[in-house]
Amino acid sequence: MKVLLTGAAGFIGSRIRAQLTDGGHEVVAVDAMLPAAHGDATTVPDGIRQVDVRDAAALAEVLPGVDVVCHQAAVVGAGVDASDAPSYGSHNDYGTTVLLAEMYAAGCRQLVLASSMVVYGQGGFACTEHGDVDPLPRTKADLDAGEFEHRCPVGAEPLQWRLVDEDAPLRPRSLYAASKVAQEHYALAWAEATGGSVVALRYHNVYGPHMPRDTPYSGVAAIFRSAIERGEPPRVFEDGGQMRDFVHVDDVAAANVAAITSDTEGFAAFNVCSGRPIAIRDVAARICEVRDGLAPVVTGQYRSGDVRHIVASPALAADVLGFRAAIDPQQGLADFAFAPLRG
């Protein structure tokens, strides 16, 4: 197949490109080379064309003959304040609408879209007395008192996190999350209007070799790594009990290859996760153990707007796409402890 891959020079995009090429696909690789993702890099990597997806004319040059678009290009990070909103809206949402319009003009009707777990907001919770509930946001008073877990909005009972499936409501709680929900909605409307197919892959916490070290793309695993390399203990927020799903970048690339070669119709969304939830404090401890670094410090501090638990079910991706993560987080994080990072 001939695949147009956006964001091809990025952390995830570069691994997708490698797996597609190894699989015999023809890859048209483009990247805007934004400083937020690539730092001060001034040289475009070999085989990649510098194209901004907001540039309709540039897209029109690379889309002819393309069978499927794998859209990884995006500005990420939760956002510092409201002034970041135009950047998310421009690059993520306007850029996606331009891409969809040019795909239609070129006769390309298949899209694989990089989405995110952030579309689910604060995740799924259940109460022993009242069943599945949607908890209220945590209050500053509770957080200041070290009360980090959600309580039932009906009777204030303690809640238990549960795996989120793809039918969960989309409730964005950050500017980035809002832009990812909008991307999905534009893609859904495009699929219905054109008869095209869209696979939205909702990535969980992606980590692995060549993960950016000091950009908005730097996930918590890379931040812990950097602290150890400075001779400092990793600092863990809250009590460290926040549950996440860490999925290796090579598994994420494999999910994209599976989506590209799938025969799904219309719009479909899938969680891309390992299926093995892990607490944030255990992520830090695992990296420290392997690196023989100082033990993590659980600070009790918190960041406004942080989600307590967000973990998802991998079942639908396994059933429909045949995708199952191959790398266990315990082994993957151990390997990551010494893996090269981007500067």
- 230-267: pLDDT as tens digits: 999 999 999 999 999 999 999 999 999 999 999 999 99
Q: What is the pLDDT of residue 137?
A: 86
What spatial distance separates the first Cα and last Cα of the chain, rounded to whole Å? 33
- Once rounded to an integer, what is the mean pLDDT over residues 289-314? 94
Helix or strand (DSSP H, E) at 252: helix 249-260
Confidence of residue 63 (pLDDT cuts 50, 70, 90): very high
- Once rounded to an integer, what is the mean pLDDT over residues 144-158? 95
Say if CB 202 and CB 177 are below 8 A apart.
no
Nearest to 212 by CA among 330, 68, 39, 79: 39
Task: Tell me how crowded residue 80 is: count the other CB atoms within 10 A of its CB.
Answer: 9
pLDDT, greater one: 213 or 188: 188
322 vs 195: CA distance, rounded Å? 24
Q: What is the pLDDT of residue 154?
A: 95
Asked if the model's pLDDT at residue 217 lies above 60, the reply is no
Q: Give the chain's domains with CATH numbers.
A: 2-123+164-208+246-275+312-326 (3.40.50.720)
Nearest to 251 by CA among 330, 319, 332: 332
Side chain identity at residue 256, one-letter code: N
Nearest to 125 by CA among 98, 151, 91, 92: 151
Burial of 326 (0-12, 13-18, 19+ CB in 10 A): exposed
Mean pLDDT of the chain: 94
- Once rounded to an integer, what is the mean pLDDT over residues 7-35? 96
Bridge partners of residue 94, in order along the sequence: none
Q: What is the pLDDT of residue 83?
A: 87
Structure tokens that stand for 237 in this block: 């927020």
138 vs 224: CA distance, rounded Å? 25
Q: What is the pLDDT of residue 90?
A: 97
Tens digit of each residue's pLDDT (9 = 90 or more) over 83-114: 889 999 999 999 999 999 999 999 999 999 99
